[in-house]
Amino acid sequence: MGVKVKEWKGAWYIFVNYQRKRVARRCSSKKAALIAADQIDARLKLGDLSVLTKHVATPKVSPTFAEVAEEWLQKYPALHAIRASTMENYRSTVNRHLLPFFGAMDISTVTTSVIEDFIEAKRASGGSVRWEGKPLRDSTLRTYLEPLKMILKRARRRELILANPFDLVEWRTHQRVENADPFTSHELRRILEATSHAVSAPFAAMVRLWVQSGMRAGEVYGLQQQDLNYDAGTALVRRTWSRQRLGPTKTNLERETSFLHPIADDSPEWHPSRSSSAARSILGMLRALPVQGFAPSDFVFTRPSGKPWSSDTIKRPWRRTLLLAGVRYREPEQLRRTFASTLLSRNAPPLYVQKQGGWRSAGVLLRAYARWMPQDMGNVASVQLDATPAQPATLRVAR
């Protein structure tokens, strides 16, 4: 007598050999085949020969979390319009955080308490994979929980679980607020002076264009020659450069923005039509950039390889610039935040600032920047949008 489990032509089978009778049964997985084989062997030892004469259904086995997660990783981008970079982030989260914790569990055993144990472990020391011994920040953890919710939602849709256990998880984090720590006008002038004297001309042009347009980092890197209108001093923002590839803007919308705003000027003016000669110097700086090619699709800020600059490209010159300028270090993205806080402090209409910088809505803009508006306007925005209480119309200088 023999009951064996074998793989044949990509499928798992139970092969039964008993009293010169042979039967083969195909199973849905190796795990299901092993369980069924044990049951068949036990029945044969008790004299039950029904398995040799009629079909016996193999027991239904709940798939593991890893199996459901892998299916979700394949199906989700096929069914949704999602950026490749976003899907890469989801896959990285699944492989580095979710599978080590949930992977071997049957999907039916992933309960609310198990998810809360995962959250607790990630918020504790050692929760980070990148930084040994460090916890995950709540803002990072919130992002990592998104694919977990969607994997469990798919399991519920497939009726592998009776309900989504994430719906009852008792975890809340702070409302996401943009980390605005802008430069003052005085700091900006020192930064621009340092770039013009001690750093390359293309880098100096990039910094001035960035702060006078309020673009996101990837939007600056993704600018092409065809996007610039030198007569009007505007740029058509319609793509972003991230993870070594081009993609749409964060909001999936194109916009036209001026890069002549007098952000670094020590003046109350905000409209680009009233920009100073210093602000308009960006036009000459852009025209003087080294020519890498003559195609309209050539990038404005280009490496010798033909690819655009990236955050890694500017890391060293940015640090050097702030050191030479004697300005406290902040990430380059604070140039965008300086744009928003400066315009609002000078009474620029919030809708204008929102459209120029590409924020999803004026509400999103004001939740982070209302405190830089003049006192009376800032109070109104605070009441309407439940934003941070307004501060005087001066740029904040961190101590």
Q: What is the mean pLDDT of each run of 10 residues along the chain (399 residues)?
A: 78 78 76 80 76 55 87 91 85 93 90 92 87 86 92 91 88 67 94 86 95 96 95 95 87 94 93 92 93 82 89 93 95 96 96 95 92 70 39 37
**pLDDT of res. 377:** 53
Q: What predicted TM-score, i.e. pTM, was given to this entire model?
A: 0.64
**pLDDT of res. 388:** 37
Average pLDDT, the chain: 85
**pLDDT of res. 54:** 53
Listed in sequence order, the residues at least 6 apart from 246 whose beta carbon sits closer than 8 Å to its beta carbon are 222, 239, 240
- Give yes or no for a contact between 117 and 105, defined as CB atoms under 8 angstroms apart: no
Ranges assigned E (strand) in 177-268 = 228-229, 234-237, 240-242, 245-247, 255-258
**pLDDT of res. 296:** 87
User: Hey, how many other C-beta atoms are within 10 angstroms of the C-beta on 355?
Assistant: 16
Q: Residue 253: name the closest of 108, 355, 184 by CA.
A: 355
**pLDDT of res. 177:** 55
Strands 234-237 and 228-229: antiparallel
Distance of CA 306 to the CA centre of its chain: 26
- Give yes or no for a contact between 52 and 23, defined as CB atoms under 8 angstroms apart: yes
Measure the CA–CA gap between 338 and 195, rounded to whole angstroms: 17
